[in-house]
A and B are shown apart, each in its own frame.
Chain A
Amino acid sequence: MCQYGKSGTSGRRRGYRRDRVCPSPVGNPDTRREALTKQRFVSRRAQTKCNLSIRGKLWLTALCLLIPSLQSWGVLGEDAALVAADGARINASSRLIQRESYTIHELRSPSGITVREYANASGRVFAVAWKGPFLPDMKQLLGTHFEEFQKAAQAQNRRGGHGPLVIQQPGLIVELGGHMRSFVGRAYLPDEMPAEVRSGEIR
């Protein structure tokens, strides 16, 4: 319902507050159209309102801050604006946290899983982190990297025992820890991390 605008479609990182309600008119129209098509949960009525007036925008902003949005987990390695598409399935509430060189999109599912997706200046998700009583849908969260994670997890050698998963592939790091009823983990693409970001910030 209240899709936050992303720099990937707006081309304006600092303008995210204004972009919270309405996709910016700036940017590549084709990309925007594709994004909007995939954002099934963005109501056309809301879009219309966005085009109406500043007052309307303010009201809708207030509304969107109050009502949990229908958003999904982001997908590692994809555009933050595009990957929100599958959100109709997961009734997650969300918030946005702006950092110097990236944006954190934090989503919380009704079953209590918090997912944070880290998008760089061009809107691409270079890391995801999760925490909660269960695991999120890792296939959705890791996207094209899921199978690589799955294979590496199966190959993990604990000399017969059990413990946290630490996957270190050339272009993919996945770490999963915790215990039954409390899981925590993160996945990131080291080659796509903004240079100034340390892995410790992904959590």
Chain B
Amino acid sequence: MKPLQFHPKGLCAVVLLALPALSVGCGGSSSKQNGTAPLASSGGNVQPIVVNAGPAGNYANGVFTSVTLCVPSSSSCQTISGILVDTGSYGLRILSSAGGGALTLSLPQQTASNGNPMGECALFVSGFTWGSVNTADVIIAGEQAGNVPVQVIDPTFAAVPSACKNTGVPENDTLQTLGANGILGVGPFAEDCGGACTQSGTSNPGMYYTCASTSCQITAEPLARQVQNPVVLFPNDNNGVIIQLPAVSGPAPSLAGSMVFGIGTQPNNTLGKAEVFPVNSSGEFNTTFKGQSYPAFVDSGSNAFFFLDSDITGIPACGSNGGFYCPTTTQKLSAITSSGNPSQTITFSIANADSLFANRGDFVFDTLGGPNAGTFDWGLPFFFGRNVFTAIESRNTPAGAGPFWAY
């Protein structure tokens, strides 16, 4: 159940609970959470997920799962746990044992037309991952995708190219810097780069490289060979995912939930009353806060509500936990998510991060927030108490083709 303090119609809800006969007049809330109906907890398309400290033992608000990788068309497989579930990226990345990860299976390397192995610098906001592009059969729950291009994150694969280093963001190629044994990118796109990486010359942003023994060169990479969101390669249930996590009130050590594959493909993944929010070519929609509209996105791989700045929110940043908000008292806020006509008011609270982190045994924080200039990043706490549907670009669903979010 959603905590009442998250609900602008909380009073109405209390009245409803106490006096069911007075329910008339309590409808019409724009903050209704349509996607919170329970989903099936088992089935061939349901994969358990859990919010906990993760394999590095210190991850606040990280949601993890297990993935089985196999050498293509073989019975040589390995199941790896501690994989971060990330709706803000696209494609499966596994941390090699050289980086301190769990992967010991030797997966075939993808080679470029010149015969050299393919390398990749994958860009995230808080860092980049560097390593080779390999091919694997990927099994999650009862779903299997064959010959999936994946990234094996490996700091020893080749010297990190200067274009990658010159982004200035940290290299996340070890268990400590990544905080996970890998990243499962199940966001609203099929490839991690898209059309730009199929180009040659200055239009190519420099994510894919052919790597000779000493150095790597930027190369064009066709869409089908780019690191793929494995969901699109499932034979069925391949149009998106649902992340389902229960509501919490206050910090907790862990939280169990489900990742359901497919949207409207099975009795257990129907949209129901969830509202559909189409996203643009950047993978974004809008959020209005205090009357001003900002670009926004929904990202299970961000570990807090990251939005705007202290000037606008009036919430001071923390001293020691830089990058988080530290209000003196918990702040109750609301913002309107929208994409053209559909809109939904989201109410949320921001507590003092220093206080939240005081108990080192807690790793689930529903009120953790931080600054993010000019943007709304609806991170993992947004998923608590919601079923969040992520539909992939160009894939059909009963509500039309993706990309969209629904909740």
Contact = CB atoms under 8 A, between A and B. Distances in A.
A162 B302 contact: yes
A156 B126 contact: yes
Contacts of B56: 160
A157 B323 contact: yes
B54 interface: yes
Contacts of A176: 125, 169
A38 to B, nearest CB: 20
Contact of A164 (B126, B163, B179): B126
A86 B5 CA distance: 54
A158 B363 CA distance: 12
Interface string B274-296: 00000000111000000000010
Contact of B204 (A111, A150, A160, A166): A111
Contacts of A200: 311-312
A163 B321 contact: no
A168 to B, nearest CB: 7
Contact of A139 (B166, B189, B201): B166
B207 interface: yes
Nearest to B183: A162
Interface stretch (B42-50, B74-82, B191-199, B330-338): B191-199
B123 interface: yes
Contacts of B295: 184
A139 B282 CA distance: 24
Contacts of B88: 179-180
Interface in A149-203: 149-150, 153-154, 156-166, 168, 175-186, 199-200, 203
Contacts of A203: 373-374
B125 A183 contact: yes
B196 A133 contact: yes
A182 B188 CA distance: 12
B357 interface: yes
B389 interface: no
B153 to A, nearest CB: 14
A135 B60 contact: no
B170 interface: yes
B59 interface: yes
B233 to A, nearest CB: 18
A34 to B, nearest CB: 25
Interface of B: 53-54, 56, 58-62, 88-90, 122-127, 163, 165-170, 179, 185, 187, 189, 192-194, 196, 199, 201-207, 282-284, 295, 297, 299, 301-304, 306, 309, 311-312, 317, 320-323, 357, 370-375, 377, 379
8 contacts: A109-B202, A134-B123, A156-B323, A158-B303, A161-B59, A162-B179, A176-B169, A179-B125
